[in-house]
Amino acid sequence: MVSSITRTSGISGGSTSEVEGLGKGIESSFGLNLIPLPANPLFGTDGIRGRVGELLNAPLALQVGFWTGIVLRNHATQVGPVILGQDSRNSSDMLAMALSAGLTAAGLEVWYLGLCPTPCVAYLTSISDAIGGVMISASHNPPEDNGIKVFSANGGKLPQILQTEIEAGLRGKISPIARVSNCGRHYSRFELVEDYSSALKKPLNGALNLQGMKIVLDLAWGAAVGLAPSVFTQMGAEVICLHNEADGDRINVNCGSTHLDILAATVQEHNADIGFGFDGDADRVLAVDNTGRQVNGDYILYLWGRHLQQNQQLPDNLIVSTVMANLGFEKAWQQIGGNLIRTAVGDQYVQAEMQRTGGMLGGEQSGHILCRHYAVTGDGLLTALHIASLVREAGVPLSELVDRSFQTYPQLLRNVRVVDRDRRLGWQDCQPVQQAIALAEAAMGDSGRILVRASGTEPVIRVMVEAANAELTNYWTNELVSKVQQHLMD
């Protein structure tokens, strides 16, 4: 345990500002059940997420904080603090403070980190005596959205059974096991972020540094703006930054991991070795090679997996990915003796399968990468540091490493906006869409693959088609998107 991660009775350097809890018997004065909640579960694939002012508002955050605190307390062997962080969205201050009020109302101590990446919250939770962690962020979503991510004491995603208990409390289906009789406290612990920074660099200290590398970072106006440039500079790289101020109006807007064009152009303009694009809370990252070509999570997993495999650090040569992983990646990995297990889309499913199988490397094509040698959850900064180090050690450009790896099958992913939540989550009951999928699968046979699913984080139906040639991919993507638009959109 890092020495500075101590209980607040021994705080040195932390702020002394405190917010007292709301007092005895607070559960009776919260106005529970007065907030209308949707019939469908609040927790999606990555916590609670939605449009601020609609699903997400301060009263809901207050109650989520309270019931999260109650559930974490009930399942803890001893009471410890809850670690709280946030991204740069305009609504994050409001939601973080409301959530902290709920946690302190549950009698808990809150350690508030302020602006920081999501994996910073997970890491500090895992190495301290915290009973859980909470991050206020909507990850890669647009500025008007926000979310609440809850971590268990080990830094992993909160188990489904505890999410269900929190939601039962929100819906008035349970009462606290014991009456809350103490006031919690809120402490600003901004200095703890430096412990996370040190942990990022530690595995690479004494090994190859990034001296001589020119690296472009697109920070998406988000959570990593203060941390990423210093970490890469301290590792010896020459750093060029894009979108590197905290800006709640522009977070993720035409930048970061979901919009790599500016990053690619900047890499080429400055003749840089590599570029990395992060999302708003920096738990995911995508790369751009020295030619400006985009390098997605499949390539990152293959290259990192190959490196670990060659160093006998990959048990059973196993990589865990999702149903979105490209067939070209899967076949190339198998050709060098690797095993690939696919899960449902969502890093929580990847993480659960890694824990079940003992897998040490896993992730998603979209850039959530988890290496259990170094982290307890997906971490964009950690991944970027290790990929840059891997390139430095190889002594050849990233473009050459990519060329040696595999060729992707043509794959198209289209998002169809379906605002009606019931229609979106119940899309499998739509017979015309199901018939179109069956027709496409029969026509392509073994030469293609189809995945249609409702997003767990956005109001969209995702249609993915992968085939041996681009003509088939384009044709069946258009056919399926047309059916979804015709039968599921308002």
Predicted confidence (pLDDT) per residue in 305-340, tens digit: 999 999 999 999 999 999 989 988 998 999 999 999
Q: What does the alpha-carbon distance between residue 383 and residue 278 come to, in Å, rounded to a whole number?
A: 11
Bridge partners, 116 (sequence order): none
Parallel, antiparallel or unpaired: strands 109-115 and 82-86? parallel
CA nearest to 330, candidates 343, 346, 341, 344 = 341
pLDDT tens-digit readout, 66-84? 999 999 999 999 999 999 9
Length of the chain as a residue count: 490
Percent pLDDT > 90 in the chain is: 80
Q: Lowest mean pLDDT: which of 44-53, 274-283, 360-369?
A: 44-53
Query: Which residues fall within 8 angstroms of residue 429, CB to CB, at 6 or more apart?
Result: none
Closest to 150 (Cα-Cα) out of 158, 139, 141, 140: 158
Rounded to an integer, the average pLDDT of 120-132 is 98
N-terminal to C-terminal alpha carbon distance within the chain: 53
| Least confident range of 116-130, 136-150, 165-179 | 165-179
Of the candidates 253, 240, 273, the residue with the CA atom closest to the CA atom of residue 395: 273
Per-residue pLDDT, 83? 98
- Residue 8's pLDDT is what? 47
Percent of the chain with pLDDT over 70: 91
Instruction: Give dist(CA 378, CA 369) in Å, integer.
Output: 5
**DSSP string for residues in 242-292:** ES-S--TTTTTTT-GGG--HHHHHHHHHTT-SEEEEE-TTSS-EEEE-TTS
Q: Write out pLDDT tens, residues 20-68.
A: 333 334 444 454 456 788 888 999 888 999 999 988 999 999 999 999 9
The confidence score (pLDDT) of residue 7 equals 52
Average pLDDT over residues 234-249: 97
The tokens for 248 are 């709640």
Full-model pTM: 0.86
Question: What pLDDT digit, counting tens, does each position of 175-223 carry?
Answer: 766 566 688 999 999 999 999 999 999 998 766 789 999 999 999 999 9
Per-residue pLDDT band for 5 (boundaries 50, 70, 90) equals low
139 is catalytic: yes
Residue 311, judged by CB atoms within 10 A of its CB (0-12, 13-18, 19+), counts as exposed
User: Is residue 280 predicted with pLDDT exceeding 80?
Assistant: yes
More confident of the two residues 456 and 439: 439
> Distance between CA atoms of 488 and 473, rounded to whole angstroms?
22
pLDDT band for position 366 (cuts 50, 70, 90): very high
| Active-site pick, 139, 197, 366, 389 | 139
Over residues 402-420, the pLDDT tens digits come to 999 999 999 899 999 999 9
* Contact status, residue 260 vs residue 296, Cβ threshold 8 Å: no
Beta strands of 39-189 (E only): which ranges?
Answer: 43-44, 47-51, 82-86, 109-115, 132-136, 145-151, 185-188
Taking alpha carbons only, the member of 25, 41, 285 closest to residue 140 is 285
Mean pLDDT of all residues in the chain? 91
The residue with tokens 């040569």 is 317
* 421: exposed, middle or buried (Cβ count in 10 Å: 0-12, 13-18, 19+): middle
Q: What is the mean pLDDT of residues 361-373?
A: 96
Query: Do 223 and 117 contact (CB within 8 A), yes or no?
Result: yes
CA–CA distance, 382 with 200 (Å, rounded to integer): 6
The mean per-residue pLDDT over the stretch 374-400 comes to 96
- pLDDT exceeds cutoff 50 at 10: no
Provide the pLDDT confidence category of residue 446 given band limits of 50, 70 and 90. Answer: confident
Task: Give the mean pLDDT of 440-461.
Answer: 87
Binding site annotation covers 139?
A: yes
> Is 93 labelled as part of a ligand binding site?
no
- pLDDT value of residue 40: 86
Establish whether 279 is an annotated binding residue: yes
